[in-house]
Amino acid sequence: MDKVKDPVCNMMIDPAKAAATSEYNGKTYYFCAKVCKTKFDANPSNYVK
């Protein structure tokens, strides 16, 4: 699978190796680290266009 962008830090990551994931509005978001997931989960609308 192609790399995806962590919506918090904009790092390109392999979804199969993501440190964490979150579901928001029916879409799965992938994160390079748990800290990015925590920031996203606190206010997802800040990171989703």
Give the SS3 label for residue 4: strand
User: How many domains does the structure of the chain reveal?
Assistant: 1
Q: Can you give the pTM of this predicted structure?
A: 0.92
Looking at residue 49, what is its pLDDT? 80
Q: Residues 6 or more apart from 12 whose CB is under 8 A from it?
A: 3, 4, 5, 6
Tokens of 21: 């994931």
Range of the domain at 10: 4-46
pLDDT in tens, 5-49: 999 999 999 999 999 999 999 999 999 999 999 999 999 999 998
DSSP 9-49: T--EE-GGG-SEEEEETTEEEEESSHHHHHHHHH-GGGT--
DSSP one-letter code for 5: E
pLDDT > 70? residue 1: no
